[in-house]
Structure formats: structure tokens, C-alpha cells
Amino acid sequence: MPHSLKISVPSNSSEYKIVIGHGLLERSGTWVRNSLSKQTRRVAVISDDNVFGHYGDEFIRGFTAPDLKLYIYLIKGGERRKDLKTVTEILDFLSTSGISRGDAVIALGGGVVGDISGFAAAVHLRGISFLNIPTTLLSMVDASIGGKTGVNSKYGKNLIGAFHQPSGVLIDPSTLKTLPERELTAGLCEMIKQGAISGHALLNKTRDLLEWFPKARFRENYHSQIFRSHLSSMIVAHIAFKAGIVAGDQHEVSGRVDAKSRKILNFGHTLAHALEKVTGYTKLRHGEAVGYGILFAAELSKSLALCSEKDVELLNDVVHRVGTLPSLANIDRQEVFEAFKTDKKHSAGSLQMVLLKGIGKPVIVAENEIPRSTIHKVLKRLLTEWA
Ligand SMILES: NC(=O)c1ccc[n+]([C@@H]2O[C@H](COP(=O)([O-])OP(=O)(O)OC[C@H]3O[C@@H](n4cnc5c(N)ncnc54)[C@H](O)[C@@H]3O)[C@@H](O)[C@H]2O)c1
Ligand SMILES: [Zn+2]
């Protein structure tokens, strides 16, 4: 039985539905038709060659909407392709395919495909409809929700982009059965991030799933009804949490620093973005970098006497359950520190770190309120441990 959630974005009175269910991909035609305007005639599907290799046939088989013409464009996967060059290629494709104002873009893939395609949809003809079919755990619980779209630039991650809400999101958790181990770890790290800022209920839900179904055995469990049902309900719980935060602060208002502002979703991301930047977006999956970022933010919170040892240990325990994160040998601490500045651009020139007063108690602290020496000390210790 598919789950269905309605996500409301009060500020522009738009509302869209997220449907979740095993096997929905091969029945996606009806969903596409119902999610778009009656006037829509052309639909551009953007995917990466890897995802389309796995699920292209299934998607096309399920695409039973005779009045819609399908145009397919495949990009090469990976974070390094998340740039303006790829966007330009997609925009060329949309123009040459005659995708007009009433038409739509569908993303079929992980967060990279979703972010780029959403951005192309936001700027093609000043904005056309966008549907998202996320196929990684990370994009199901995080990237596909909230309307942030965009690409990286040479100055840093996600620095070019737009808010563009989808008209619908379809999640088929069965697609996760082909997801490589590391991508699973990456998604679980983003879930731990959400658990850490949401509270014990969500964090425990994630921890329990990992205890009952250790990650190494996820793949063999997809035929189990119990596992599938737990997985779906966990995805739903994470989406509901993220959607709740986004609804209250759709555009991440820069002056907001309260515990319900959208910025709290950046918990773990100051270090994550810096690590991704200094390693040239090649060594770490985004979610893996978030795994390290969670541990750093937790340790820093403890050093500032904000968070208890017990809560930091709990986060360490859950992060370690998701598997081994890649080694961080040969990473220069000063370079990482410099890379923190990229995040300043997101927050009106002053770096704001999301720390924890405890599980479920995020707090936004301005960089100038944290002694530099403390940041360096914590970073030094952790980079040595992680080498
Ligand atoms: N917009 C947002 O709010 C938001 C939030 C979080 C993260 N993000 C962005 O999301 C991106 C990371 O997304 P991601 O982790 O999904 O990575 P990704 O999109 O790069 O996908 C990871 C890899 O998995 C492959 N893949 C995807 N689905 C698969 C499947 N079902 N089976 C087999 N292989 C599959 C892809 O081809 C790719 O090689 C980052 O760029 C990050 O900045 C955006
Ligand atoms: Zn993230």
C-alpha cells in the first residue's frame, strides 16, 4: 500500500504530493499525468547513464500516458558533473526538444540529477514544471524535498541555484536494491543528521533499523515484507521532519537563527562542504562527508560545554553502524579551515555553525562566538583520528 504525503509550501500557496511505495516506478505514467497540467504535452526525462541503465526500461514500460511525448537526456553521473556546463547541455536539449512553458522536466536519479534537473527546470523559459523520482536513499529522505536546486561552481558547492518546488515526488524504495554500499552509507549519514536535530524518536528509528537489518544485509532483505515496510515508514518519517522545517522557512531566511529555521538542516555540513571542496569532490560521497561533519559538530558542541558526552557517544555509535567512512589521510587542516569560508557566502558573510545542545536541540552559533583555538583543537584531533 503506497504512502502518500502532502507537502505544503504556505508562502506561495503551492502544495505537492509525495507518493512512496515499492513498485511504483513501473506504474509511474498515471502519476506523471495526474501531477501535471492537462496542457502538458512534452516531458523531458533527465537521468544519469548508470541509473537509466538500471531503471530506464522499467520507467519507460510504466510510462502509459499516451498524450505525453517523452524526451530522454542522459548525463554522466557524479558530483563533478554538477556544474553549469551540464546545465547548459540540458537547456540546449530542452530547447531543441521543443519543451515549452506548459511542459515539464522529470529527474530520475540521485541528488545530483535532481539538483541539476530542478535548476534547469527553474531557468528554462523562466521556470517550467518539475517532477522528481529520487533513486538514492539520500535523495529520497533529503535532496528531493524542499525545492533547493542548483550546481557547484569553482568557488564552492551549491553556490549557483534557485528555489524551485517540484509538482510531485515519486519514491520507489525498491530502486535502492541496486544502490552501491557507499551510497547507502551516504544516505544513512544524512538520516543520522536529521535524527540528531529532530530528536530521539527519529534517531532511534534509524538506529533500530540498522540494528534489526544491519546495512551489510540490506540487499538480501528487499524481498522481506517487514524490512520493506520498516524502510518505507522510516523514509516517510524523515520526509515529514524535513518538510515540516522547510514549510516554516521555505527560502532559508538569512536572519533566522532559531531552532526551527531551515539552517538547522545544515548540521554537519560546515565541515562536510569543506572536506568535499578540499578533496576536489572526488574522494568522499556528500553523505560520507556529512558523517564526518556530524562527528565534528558534536565534538565541538561538547568542547563548548553545550552537549553532553552521552549524546556525542550516541551519535558516534550510530555513525559507526553505517559502515567505514573513507580515510582522511593527508588533509591539510588549514585548508579545511579556509574552506569553511565558502559557507559564509550562504549566510551573509558570517559563518554560522549548527551545533547541538543535545539530541533534538540544534542551536546556531556565530563563528565569532567560538574561540578559533577550540575549532582548531577539535579539528586537529579528529583529522588525526580519521587519517
Ligand atoms: N537539494 C537539496 O536539498 C539537497 C540536499 C542534500 C543533498 N543534495 C545534493 O545531493 C547530491 C548527492 O546526491 P546523492 O547522494 O543521491 O548522489 P548521486 O546523485 O551522485 O548518486 C550517487 C551514485 O549512485 C548512482 N545511483 C543512483 N541511484 C541508484 C540506484 N537506485 N541504483 C544504483 N545506482 C544508483 C548514481 O548513478 C551515482 O553514481 C549532492 O550534490 C548534494 O549536494 C541536495
Ligand atoms: Zn547534505
Residue 19 CA to residue 39 CA, distance in Å, equals: 23
Task: Name which residue sits closest to atom 41 of ligand 1, judged by CA.
Answer: 112
Distances (CA, A) of 282 to 121, 193, 236, 331: 27, 22, 30, 13
pLDDT digits (tens, 9 = 90+) for 108-163: 999 999 999 999 999 999 999 999 999 999 999 999 999 999 999 988 889 999 99
Task: Name which residue sits closest to atom 9 of ligand 1, judged by CA.
Answer: 111
Give the alpha-carbon dihedral of 337, 343, 347, 353, to 10 degrees: -60
Evaluate: CB of 188 within 6 angstroms of ligand 1. Answer: no
pLDDT above 80 for 276: yes
Q: What is the pLDDT of residue 281?
A: 85
pLDDT above 60 for 38: yes
Evaluate: CB of 48 within 6 angstroms of ligand 1. Answer: yes
Q: How many CA atoms lie within 13 A of 76 on its CB side?
A: 6
Cβ-Cβ contacts under 8 Å for 183 (sequence gap 6 or more): 110, 136, 137, 138, 285, 287
pLDDT above 50 for 165: yes
Beta strands 156-163 and 168-171 are unpaired
Q: What is the pLDDT of residue 11?
A: 45
Residue 201 CA to residue 131 CA, distance in Å, equals: 30
Q: What is the pLDDT of residue 69?
A: 96
Task: Name which residue sits closest to atom 2 of ligand 1, judged by CA.
Answer: 143
Evaluate: CB of 288 within 6 angstroms of ligand 1. Answer: no
Share of residues in the chain with pLDDT > 70 (%): 94
Evaluate: CB of 135 within 6 angstroms of ligand 1. Answer: yes
Q: What is the pLDDT of residue 290?
A: 97
